[in-house]
Amino acid sequence: MSSVSLPTPQPAQSASRRSWLDALGARTVIGIPFLWLALLFLVPFLIVVKISISESDGIHFKEMFVFTDGHLQWNVKWGNYAFLASDALYIRTYLSSIYYAGVTTIICLLIGYPFAYFMARSPATWRPALLMMVMLPFWTSLLLRVYAWKGLLASNGVINDLLLAIGVISEPLKMMNTSFSLLIGMVYAYLPFMILPLYANLVKLDLRLLEAAADLGAKPLTAFWKVTIPLSKAGIVAGAMLVFIPCVGEFVIPELLGGPSTLMIGRVLWDEFFSNNDWAMASAVAVVMVLLIIIPLAIFNKSQTENAAREKGRI
């Protein structure tokens, strides 16, 4: 009898347990980072928005909703924003931040694209070493590398000394604390952020496409414009956003290299907060800054998601 197996289906007991476990797993995996980001990224920003429109004296804020005499009173102060909009210096600072960030992005692209292109076309045995050489500065302290430019660009610095010694100039050039030194510093700091996504993109480019273009009569330059550039668009977008967005709010580089004459909004925010102790004003400055970069941020997020999807589709 024992060899007889009845074809009565036995209910699978683990079915419900499995879906429960699976759901718990998914909930943990998504939930923990979600909660973390919500608490430390989303909520803080909402607080900034709130503070930027709260009535305050310095660092103490009145409650936004006050219940007095049976009436709900809403204490909202748009004054900070009104001030931002009416003060020419703030507006100029925002514009100049965007200008410097834009110029930095373009210079990084002009230097970085050919660099990434040649790197991707170099012999495969060289590439890991070249990549490592790009990564190495990226891994060393940005602060220290920016600081180094101070010594290079100062009027009694290395570059001026060298130029004076070989007689190109007769008196030191004023390079520090100008828009030149600021741009040098920003391009220097953010160039690897441009090169890496471009390289990652270009190294995957199917060289047979260029051969096909050549076969169909395209000259190398035409093939470059019509095939290589369009196909590397994703890399260009990712690189440009990685440079542009943080540059808009950059603080350390303008502080160390820019001097008082170069206007950057990151420094204004810093000063409002640390020197003037005006938290509400600092918050308003931050909110407007986010509004300025919200579209680039959306583009960046989209390109990141698409890159991941492409990567996934490749496998």
Partner 1 sequence: MTNAAVAVQHQSVKADDSFLTIRKLTKKFGDVAAVDAVSLNIRKGEIFAMLGASGCGKSTLLRMLAGFEIPSSGAIVLEGQDITSLPPYERPINMMFQSYALFPHLTVEQNIAFGLERDGMPKGDITTRVTEMLELTQLKQFAKRKPHQLSGGQQQRVALARSLAKRPKLLLLDEPLGALDKKLREQTQIELVNIIDKVGVTCVMVTHDQEEAMTMASRIAVMKSGGFLQVGPPREIYETPATKYVADFIGNVNLFKGTLSVDEPDHVVIQTPECQHFVSHGITGTLGMDVHVALRPEKISLQKKAPTPQERESAREDGFNCVQGIVKNVSYLGSYTTYHVKLSTGTTLKVMNTNDARHDDHRLDWDDSVYAWWDGSDVVVLTQ
Partner 2 sequence: MQRSRFGLGWMTVVFLFLYLPIFTLVVFSFNDSKLATQWGGFTLKWYAEILNDREVREALWLSLKIAFLTATASVVLGTLAAFAMVRYTKFKGRTLFSGMVNAPLVMPEVIIGLSLLLMLVSVQRAFGVPERGVLTIWLGHSLLGMAYAAVVVQSRLLELDKSLEEAAMDLGCRPHEVFRLVTLPMIAPSLLSAWLLTFTISLDDVVLSAFLSGPGSTTLPIVIFSRARLGMSPTINAIAAIMIFIVAAGVIFGSLWLARAEKRRAEEQAAAYREALPSP
Q: If contact means CB under 5 to 8 A according to the sort of partner, which of partner 1, partner 2, none does residue 62 touch?
A: none
Bridge partners of residue 68, in order along the sequence: 71
Q: Give the shortest CB-123-to-partner 1 separation in angstroms.
A: 24
Element (DSSP H or E) covering residue 61: strand 60-61
Q: Helix, strand, coil proportions of the chain in percent (round to 5)?
A: 70, 5, 25
Joined together, the tokens standing for residue 77 give 């102060």
- Binding partner of 14, given partner 1, partner 2, none, CB within 5-8 angstroms per partner class: partner 1
Read off φ and ψ for residue 65, nearest 5 degrees: -115, 120
Of the two residues 179 and 304, which places its CB atom closer to partner 2 in the complex? 304
Q: What is the 3-state secondary structure (H, E, C) of 145-164?
A: HHHHHHHHHCCCCHHHHHHH
Which parts of 184-223 interact with partner 2 (CB under 8 A)? 188, 191-192, 220
Report which residue type is found at 174: K
CA end-to-end span of the chain: 51
- From 9-17, 46-54, 148-156, 269-277, give the range in contact with partner 1 by CB under 8 A: 9-17
Interface with partner 1, residue 156, by CB under 8 A: no
Site string (4-43) toward partner 2, x via CB under 8 A:
-----------------xx--xx-xxx-xxx-xxx-xxxx
Label residue 204 exposed, middle or buried (CB < 10 Å: 0-12, 13-18, 19+).
middle
| CB nearer to partner 2: pick between 47 and 76 | 47
Interface stretch with partner 1, choices 14-22, 25-33, 61-69, 264-272 (CB under 8 A) = 14-22
Which residue in 304, 173, 186, 177 sits closest to 248, CA to CA?
Answer: 186
Residue 12's binding partner out of partner 2, partner 1, none, with CB under 5 to 8 Å set by partner kind: partner 1
**Can you tell me the distance from the alpha carbon of 85 to that of 99, in angstroms, rounded to the nearest whole number?**
18
Segment contacting partner 1 (CB under 8 A): 10-18, 80-88, 173-181, 223-231? 10-18
- Residue 110, interface with partner 2 (CB under 8 A)? no
168 sits near partner 1 (criterion: CB under 8 A): no
Residue 300 binds: one of partner 2, partner 1, none (C-beta under 5 to 8 A by kind): partner 2
Give the CA count within 13 Å in the CB-facing half-sphere of 285: 25
Residues in the chain: 315
CA distance 88 to 78: 18
> Residue 67 has what DSSP assignment?
E
* Residue selected from 2, 7, 70, 207 as contacting partner 1 according to rule CB under 8 A: 7
The only residue of 53, 175, 213, 242 in contact with partner 2, by rule CB under 8 A? 242
Nearest alpha carbon to residue 44 among 229, 290, 262: 290
Q: Which of 107, 178, 119, 176 is nearest to 147 (CA)?
A: 176
95 binds partner 2 (CB under 8 A): no
CB of 2 to partner 1, least distance (A): 11
Q: Verify binding: residue 135, partner 2, rule CB under 8 A.
A: yes
Q: Taking CB under 8 A as the rule, does residue 88 contact partner 1?
A: no
Nearer to partner 1, 7 or 217 (CB): 7
* Residue 8, contacted partner among partner 2, partner 1, none, CB below 5-8 A by kind: partner 1
Check residue 8 for interaction with partner 1 (CB under 8 A).
yes
Name the residues that contact partner 1, by CB under 8 A: 3-12, 14-15, 18
